[in-house]
Chain A
Amino acid sequence: MIDSLARETLLEPGGITDDGLASVLGATFGRGTDGGDCYFQFTSQEGWSLEDGLVKSASFNIERGVGIRVISGEQTGFAYSDEISLPAMLEAGRTARSIASAGQTGSIPVRPGAARDTALYLPDDPLGSLDEGRKIELLKHMDAVARAADPRVTQVICSLAGVREVVLILTADGELVTDVRPLVRMNVQVLVEQGGRRESGSSGGGGRSGYAFFTEADRAGAYAREAVRQALVNLEAVDAPAGTMKVVLGPGWPGVLLHEAIGHGLEGDFNRKGTSAFAGRIGERVAAPGISIVDDGTMPGRRGSLNVDDEGTVTQQTTLIEDGYLRGYMQDRLNARLSGTHSTGNGRRESYAHLPMPRMTNTYMLPGTTEPGEILASVDRGLYAVNFGGGQVDITSGKFVFSASEAYLIENGRVTRPVKGATLIGNGPDVLTRVSMIGNDLELDTGVGTCGKEGQGVPVGVGQPTLRIDGMTVGGTQAA
């Protein structure tokens, strides 16, 4: 069904048959090339937003095209077209193969590629999963819940977004793989005011499903209450401490730590090139005993999940760190081949107009056995950080940051005053060796992450249990 839907959307409008594809493959990927692919994509997306209590603007966007990538050794030639037709493909193919001194083959027959037995999400169109009036109602509900939560709320901005991506991947040797990917997201930002002081809070979530995700268990309302709660906490926040101290990270979204501190450093391209601080360290201890971290593209309905990656490889759960030892990297096909290993289903691209590279999916740490309360009680003086904005890493030096948006002081084993947001900075290769306690409360984030690499953004997930780290630099303003 997904196959016929993808063909109907991507190939039929241009009158493209399997024979036509076979001739393009033959003309593009002859002798002298080491693979590559044709990536067909049709994306429709919409965004609705509410401000001042009114849904005043919305947008709808269509993106359609095909990207052709020709690989020869370590070299990649790439061209794309926003017209999906055989002549346009032949032209893009000719351009892309200019890196290789390649001969042509007559034609390369098209055959079905690998597919997942049980799909991780349904191919339904989220944009059509609610009518326009109900989308507006959902936003108004979110707004009303936020405003009702506290009289100090002065501004509420809500958004609802849905995307449907239909992709068809044709590999150089003729394997044809398809996927239809829904993705929805709601977000809310509130401003609160008290005695002339203004603070903000935000929350949101989503996943690979229809908009019903937000009405189930009133998730939309829960996001609104959470945003108000955070903003009110910030109204009471005092200046954050500055210096190196013990840090307890809450469960869930603080897993952005793993994404930045070690995730990017374990992507296959940086390791093949030797530019990652983790290069050549498979089998070495890089984390404290008890720490195991996986990247898992197979979690049903989650934002970072994919039935198949953007190179047509079925996604999997990949162990990155097992009981503190570095076990593996995340690979796409090009880097796997050049490193003498297999793709782990992590080849991802932002669109047909971008080249794929090794990217994370859902990256999280497995739970330990300690009660979170016990972890907090064990700290004399430190920082308890439960919510974060984004982060960033320099994969070569290993230095990474992530910015706390909700944090508290821990004094004598008790969580006391809230402190203002502050950036935490650490060294990826050793931060996980400083983890001294691992909670039993693994949580995944609510479905809000977008990871940027070389200018390409892709949706990802993170997660972790409560963690105690003995020594991270906290970038506040008050000398500790």
Chain B
Amino acid sequence: MILDHARACGASAAQAAVSHNVGLAVTVRRGEVETLEYERDQQMGLVAYFGQSKGAASTTDFSPEALRQTAEAACRIARHTEPDPHAGLPDPDEQARDWPDLQLDHPWDCPAGRAIDLARQVETAGFGVDPRVDNSEGASVSTRRAMSVLGDTQGFMGGYRSTRHSISCALVARGDGGMQRDYAYGTSRDPSWLPAGEAIGREAAERALRRLGARKLGTRQCPVLFVPEMARSLIGSFARAVSGGAQYRKSSFLLDAAGQEIFPDWMHIVEDPLLPGALGSAPFDGEGVRTRPRDLVTAGVLQDYILDSYAARRLGLRTTGNAGGARNVSVKPHPGEKGLQALLSDMGTGLLVTEMIGQGVNLVTGDYSRGAAGFWVENGEIAYPVEEITIAGNLRDVFRGIGAVGSDVDIRGNIRTGSILVEAMTVAGD
């Protein structure tokens, strides 16, 4: 209907996306319910084209009047914007016609009372670990179900449902030198894949405890081992640098890097948007283009960029089905199956990074400098916790200096990697 409105306003082509989400989130703190939130969101977004000119509008109000006004707003804008030869709907041949069931929809029958009980169990298990765990920012349980539908004036129409459920806990431990907070979480499409609540509570407690007594380090160059949750952000910087926008704006330190060796020659990175039940999976992208598994990096060499149809046209390439970003970017472990402990032994003496704060990544130059906390490691053993330090380098050197990727892959996000060992970075402290 909204597409009809757009046509009635004179649009030559249009694309509409509708999303609807319902959810429940509870937080329990020190055994008592702190918040109970019922979520219900909807949004309709429209992109209208007048030839090569483009306008966009969105609304959360689905009344017929609001939908008509939204279509008019998109068309009014499109009459003012300047033509762009690369603008437009994707090539219809690239669009999906049918798609597999990716098993993304697993509703959780979890009424508020049960969610509250579960959150209580999580927090109680955490408090039970050690009397020094004496405060909490709360344990949360949330469940969300979303429906998204996409349609355009060249005949594409598709939709699918997906769910996401999470359990998390943030605890505070107190020691002689002050307080430390840390957290643990689980998140998945299917509630039966979530870790046991008690395990999450205990993990949050243990993580907060092990940070007590953290000190600074002296400034030095040393090997740095990133746990999977932190390694994810390194691979995230790679994905942003090879995305279409960064390439056509020439604002990437990996500009025109396809065909270049940017990682060690044993490294492989793939994108698999069709992985059943995974958090990053989608049967088609934000323009209705087919998503497909592919190699991003083979033997250290960048194979391809991450493109939607606009970026592809700008660069004279074909869309890679990445309107909305890369999906399930997976780094292959190497060498062999090595967990964190084995990588600590490989590193010998150096820094284990378990937390980073701040932005500190310049994608134009690759210059990298972020706040960090973690552990100093000597002879493969954790010696003591450290904090108030920074780690710095240039991402081109960091990527080339990767020595190993662990098999301890973290699948709780769109980027799936194990721990990453970087041979040398600058650590600044005292």
Interface residues of A (CB under 8 A from B): 46, 51, 54-65, 73-83, 92, 95-96, 98-99, 132-133, 136, 154-155, 157, 191, 198-200, 240, 242-244, 273-275, 277, 353, 355, 389-403, 420-423, 425-427, 473-480
Which B residues touch A62, using CB under 8 A? 57-61, 66, 69-70
| B359-379 vs A, Cβ < 8 Å mask (1 yes, 0 no) | 110101101011101000000
Q: Given the complex of chains A and B, what is the CA–CA distance between A474 and B369 in angstroms?
A: 9
Asked if residues A155 and B250 are in contact (CB atoms below 8 Å), the reply is: yes
| B208-251 vs A, Cβ < 8 Å mask (1 yes, 0 no) | 00010010100111000000000000000000000000000111
Q: Given the complex of chains A and B, what is the CA–CA distance between A427 and B373 in angstroms?
A: 13
Closest CB-CB distance, A146 to chain B, in whole Å? 14
Closest CB-CB distance, B119 to chain A, in whole Å? 13
Asked if residues B38 and A79 are in contact (CB atoms below 8 Å), the reply is: yes
Assuming the contacts A56-B82, A277-B178, asked whether A427 and B388 have C-beta atoms less than 8 A apart, the reply is yes
Q: Given the complex of chains A and B, what is the CA–CA distance between A393 and B392 in angstroms?
A: 19
Q: Given the complex of chains A and B, what is the CA–CA distance between A426 and B358 in angstroms?
A: 12
Asked if residues A244 and B358 are in contact (CB atoms below 8 Å), the reply is: no
B77: Cβ under 8 A from any A Cβ: yes
Q: Given the complex of chains A and B, what is the CA–CA distance between A304 and B159 in angstroms?
A: 40
B166: Cβ under 8 A from any A Cβ: no
Asked if residues B392 and A242 are in contact (CB atoms below 8 Å), the reply is: yes
Closest chain B residue to A63 by CB distance? B60
Asked if residues B365 and A420 are in contact (CB atoms below 8 Å), the reply is: yes
Asked if residues B32 and A82 are in contact (CB atoms below 8 Å), the reply is: no
Please classify the interface of chain B as helix (H, G, I), strand (E, B), loop, or mixed, using the class held by over half of its residues. Answer: strand
Closest chain A residue to B393 by CB distance? A477
Asked if residues B364 and A199 are in contact (CB atoms below 8 Å), the reply is: yes
B180: Cβ under 8 A from any A Cβ: yes
Q: Given the complex of chains A and B, what is the CA–CA distance between A170 and B40 in angstroms?
A: 21
Q: Given the complex of chains A and B, what is the CA–CA distance between A331 and B33 in angstroms?
A: 21
Which B residues touch A396, using CB under 8 A? 172, 179-181
Report which residue of B38, B76, B87 has the largest number of chain A beta carbons within 10 angstroms of its beta carbon.
B38
Q: Given the complex of chains A and B, what is the CA–CA distance between A436 and B80 in angstroms?
A: 54
Asked if residues B58 and A99 are in contact (CB atoms below 8 Å), the reply is: no
B42: Cβ under 8 A from any A Cβ: yes
- Which 8 residue pairs across A and B have the least CB separation, nearest first? A475-B390, A401-B358, A396-B181, A401-B371, A242-B428, A59-B56, A243-B219, A79-B38
Q: Given the complex of chains A and B, what is the CA–CA distance between A475 and B220 in angstroms?
A: 11
Closest chain B residue to A201 by CB distance? B364
Q: Given the complex of chains A and B, what is the CA–CA distance between A318 and B54 in angstroms?
A: 46
| B246-264 vs A, Cβ < 8 Å mask (1 yes, 0 no) | 0001110001000000000
4 additional contacts (CB under 8 A) given A58-B81, A64-B59, A240-B369? A61-B59, A75-B32, A96-B38, A355-B37
Asked if residues A426 and B249 are in contact (CB atoms below 8 Å), the reply is: no
- In the assembled complex, 6 residue pairs joining A and B whose CB atoms fall closer than 8 Å, in A order, are A51-B249, A57-B84, A59-B58, A200-B362, A243-B219, A403-B358
B137: Cβ under 8 A from any A Cβ: yes
B84 touches which of A54, A59, A275, A277 (Cβ 8 Å): A54
Q: Given the complex of chains A and B, what is the CA–CA distance between A426 and B135 in angstroms?
A: 24
Closest CB-CB distance, B391 to chain A, in whole Å? 7
Which A residues touch B137, using CB under 8 A? 273, 275
Closest chain B residue to A276 by CB distance? B179
Asked if residues B32 and A74 are in contact (CB atoms below 8 Å), the reply is: yes
Asked if residues B219 and A242 are in contact (CB atoms below 8 Å), the reply is: yes
Q: Given the complex of chains A and B, what is the CA–CA distance between A273 and B27 in angstroms?
A: 14
Closest chain A residue to B367 by CB distance? A420
Asked if residues A403 and B135 are in contact (CB atoms below 8 Å), the reply is: no
Q: Given the complex of chains A and B, what is the CA–CA distance between A37 and B372 in angstroms?
A: 40
B39: Cβ under 8 A from any A Cβ: yes
B271: Cβ under 8 A from any A Cβ: no
Asked if residues B181 and A64 are in contact (CB atoms below 8 Å), the reply is: no
Which A residues touch B392, using CB under 8 A? 240, 242, 422-423, 475-477
B34 touches which of A51, A74, A82, A154 (Cβ 8 Å): A74
Which B residues touch A199, using CB under 8 A? 364-365
Closest CB-CB distance, A82 to chain B, in whole Å? 5
B389: Cβ under 8 A from any A Cβ: yes
Q: Given the complex of chains A and B, what is the CA–CA distance between A453 and B177 in angstroms?
A: 26
Asked if residues A392 and B357 are in contact (CB atoms below 8 Å), the reply is: yes
Asked if residues B429 and A75 are in contact (CB atoms below 8 Å), the reply is: no
Q: Given the complex of chains A and B, what is the CA–CA distance between A372 and B430 in angstroms?
A: 27
Which B residues touch A274, using CB under 8 A? 135, 172
Asked if residues B36 and A397 are in contact (CB atoms below 8 Å), the reply is: no
Closest chain B residue to A135 by CB distance? B80
Assuming the contacts A56-B82, A401-B358, asked whether A79 and B60 have C-beta atoms less than 8 A apart, the reply is no
Closest chain A residue to B373 by CB distance? A399
Asked if residues B369 and A476 are in contact (CB atoms below 8 Å), the reply is: yes
Q: Given the complex of chains A and B, what is the CA–CA distance between A86 and B298 in angstroms?
A: 59
A423 touches which of B59, B220, B370 (Cβ 8 Å): B370
Q: Given the complex of chains A and B, what is the CA–CA distance between A477 and B38 in angstroms?
A: 48
Asked if residues B430 and A79 are in contact (CB atoms below 8 Å), the reply is: no
Closest CB-CB distance, A451 to chain B, in whole Å? 14
Asked if residues B428 and A99 are in contact (CB atoms below 8 Å), the reply is: no
Asked if residues B40 and A277 are in contact (CB atoms below 8 Å), the reply is: no
Which B residues touch A61, using CB under 8 A? 57-59
Which A residues touch B90, using CB under 8 A? none
Asked if residues A397 and B179 are in contact (CB atoms below 8 Å), the reply is: yes
Q: Given the complex of chains A and B, what is the CA–CA distance between A78 and B250 in angstroms?
A: 45
Asked if residues B77 and A473 are in contact (CB atoms below 8 Å), the reply is: no
Q: Given the complex of chains A and B, what is the CA–CA distance between A132 and B55 in angstroms?
A: 12
Closest chain A residue to B61 by CB distance? A64
B139: Cβ under 8 A from any A Cβ: no
Which B residues touch A92, using CB under 8 A? 38
Assuming the contacts A79-B37, A275-B137, A275-B179, asked whether A393 and B369 have C-beta atoms less than 8 A apart, the reply is no
Q: Given the complex of chains A and B, what is the CA–CA distance between A73 and B32 in angstroms?
A: 10
Closest CB-CB distance, B354 to chain A, in whole Å? 12
Asked if residues A473 and B390 are in contact (CB atoms below 8 Å), the reply is: yes
Which A residues touch B35, using CB under 8 A? 75-78, 355
Asked if residues B426 and A200 are in contact (CB atoms below 8 Å), the reply is: no
Which A residues touch B389, using CB under 8 A? 425, 473, 475
A75 touches which of B36, B360, B371, B393 (Cβ 8 Å): B36
- Contacting A at CB under 8 A, from B324-378, are 355, 357-360, 362, 364-365, 367, 369-371, 373
Closest CB-CB distance, A363 to chain B, in whole Å? 19
Asked if residues B391 and A394 are in contact (CB atoms below 8 Å), the reply is: no
Closest chain A residue to B358 by CB distance? A401
- Contacting A at CB under 8 A, from B36-74, are 36-42, 53-62, 66, 69-70, 73-74
Asked if residues B358 and A55 are in contact (CB atoms below 8 Å), the reply is: no
Closest chain B residue to A53 by CB distance? B82
Closest CB-CB distance, B49 to chain A, in whole Å? 11
B112: Cβ under 8 A from any A Cβ: yes
Which A residues touch B364, using CB under 8 A? 191, 198-200
Asked if residues A60 and B369 are in contact (CB atoms below 8 Å), the reply is: no
Asked if residues A473 and B360 are in contact (CB atoms below 8 Å), the reply is: no
